[in-house]
Amino acid sequence: MSFDDQYPTLKPEHSGMLGKCPRCGSGKLFSGFLKVADKCDVCGLDYGFADAGDGPAFFAICIAVVPVVGFSVWMEVSVGAPYWLNALLTAPLLLLACLLPMRPLKGYLIASQYYFKAREGRLDDLKDDTIDPEVNRD
């Protein structure tokens, strides 16, 4: 029985989006707004595996752009707002709409890595004796 078997299997959307440890669901996943902690303060899970990359930023931008651009186009077409007013209202709205979902998205992606046991891809070493010379490899 491994150490992970002592804990219930938690869904990433439950633990990660709340910023909780993907193994125990109690410890903190983040030590700052987006900085991942070194390890869980409850169960001791090492977060060295956690690498969300650019995923949270990509999804946050994709989620935020549609309503904010829609609002901006509406202001331009319906109200006829000048460009400076459009930029003054749209820029902070876009910034908030992109930043607010970043932490839950990053937590979800990290918890998904743990849940699905995602690891870096590796190629197996091919040995010369495993290659069949009769197979045409063109």
For 14-32, how does the pLDDT look when each residue is reduced to its tens digit (9 = 90+)? 899 999 999 999 999 999 9
pTM metric for this prediction? 0.78
Asked whether residue 33 is assigned to any structural domain, the reply reads yes
Amino acid at 96: L
Checking if the pLDDT of 131 tops 90, the result is: no
Kindly report, residue by residue over 61-104, the tens digit of the pLDDT.
999 989 999 999 999 999 898 999 999 999 999 999 999 999 99
Question: Based on the structure, what is the number of domains in the chain?
Answer: 1
How many Å apart are CA 93 and CA 87, to the nearest integer? 10
Domain that holds residue 44: 7-118
- In a domain, residue 129? The reply is no
Let me know if residue 1 belongs to a domain: no
SS3 5: helix
Instruction: Residue 111: name the closest of 41, 30, 57, 1 by CA.
Output: 30
Q: Is the pLDDT of residue 1 over 50?
A: no
Of 122 and 62, which is predicted with more confidence? Answer: 62
CA distances from 62 to 2, 41, 65, 131 (A): 39, 33, 6, 46
Could you tell me if residue 136 is inside a domain?
Answer: no
Identify whether 126 is part of a domain: no
Identify whether 123 is part of a domain.
Answer: no
Measured between alpha carbons, how far is 18 from 107 in angstroms, rounded to an integer? 7
